[in-house]
Structure 1
Amino acid sequence: MAIDVPWSVLPEYHCFGCSPHNPSGLGLTFTPHEDGVEARFELGRAFESYPGVVHGGLVGVICDETMGNLIVLARQVPAFTVSLRTRYVAPLLVGRPYRCLARLRDEEPGPLIHAYADVVDADGAVRATATATYQSFDLAELALPEDEIALLSTRLATPNGA
Structure 2
Amino acid sequence: MKYKVVKKQNGSKRCIVCGEENELGLKASFYELENNELVAICKTKDWHQSYPGRVHGGMSASLLDETIGRAISINDQTIWGVTVSLELKYRKPVPTDCEIKVVGRITKENRRMFEGSGEIILPNGEVAVTATAKYMKLPVDKIVEGDFIEEEWIEVNDKEKVDYIEY
TM-score (structure 1 length as normaliser): 0.78
Is the aligned partner of 1:139 residue 2:140? Answer: yes
Mean CA deviation greater in 68-77 or 20-29 = 68-77
1:18 and 1:150 map into 2 onto residues whose CA distance is 15
1:88 to 60, 65, 90: 90
**Aligned residue in 1 for 2:102:** 100
Other-structure match for 1:58: 59
Quote the residue 2:16 is aligned against: 16
Structure 1 residue 20: deviation in Å? 0.8
Q: Distance in 1 between matches of 2:51 and 2:149?
A: 44
Shift in CA distance, 120/110, structure 1 to aligned 2, threshold 3 Å: same
Moved over 4 A (4+): 149-152
CA distance 1:149–1:101, change in 2 (3 Å): closer
2:149 and 2:90 map into 1 onto residues whose CA distance is 40
Q: TM-score, normalised by structure 2?
A: 0.76
Of the three residues 9, 20, 25, the one matched with 1:4 is 9
Residue 25 of structure 1 corresponds to 25
**How far off is 1:151 after superposition?**
5.0
- State the SS of the aligned residue for 1:18: coil
- Secondary structure, in 3 states, of the residue corresponding to 2:61? helix
Residues in 2 aligned to 1:104 and 1:138: alpha-carbon distance in whole angstroms: 18
CA deviation after TM superposition for structure 1 residue 128, in Å: 0.6
> How far does residue 83 in structure 1 lie from its aligned partner after superposition?
0.5
Aligned positions of 1:37-76 closer than 5 A: 37-76=38-77
Instruction: Determine helix, strand or coil for the equivalent of 1:124.
Output: coil
> % of aligned pairs identical?
26
How far apart are residue 112 of structure 1 and its match?
Answer: 1.0
Deviation, 1:127, is: 0.7
Deviation by residue 1:109-150 (Cα, 9 ceiling, x = unmatched): 221100110111122111110110000113332211xxx268
How far apart, CA to CA, are the structure 2 residues paired with 1:26 and 1:58?
Answer: 9
Figure out how many residues of one structure are paired with residues of the other and give that number: 144
> Which blocks of at least 5 consecutive residues in structure 1 are unaligned?
153-162
Note the residue ranges of structure 2 that are not aligned, 5 or more in a row.
152-167
Q: Residues 68-121 of structure 1, C-alpha deviation per residue, up to 9 Å, x if partnerless?
A: 22123333311111100111001111122211111110x352211001101111
Matches of 2:57 and 2:68, distance apart in 1: 17
What's the RMSD between the two structures over aligned residues?
Answer: 2.3
Cα drift, residue 22 of structure 1: 1.7
Cα pair 1:72 1:79 within 8 Å, conserved: no
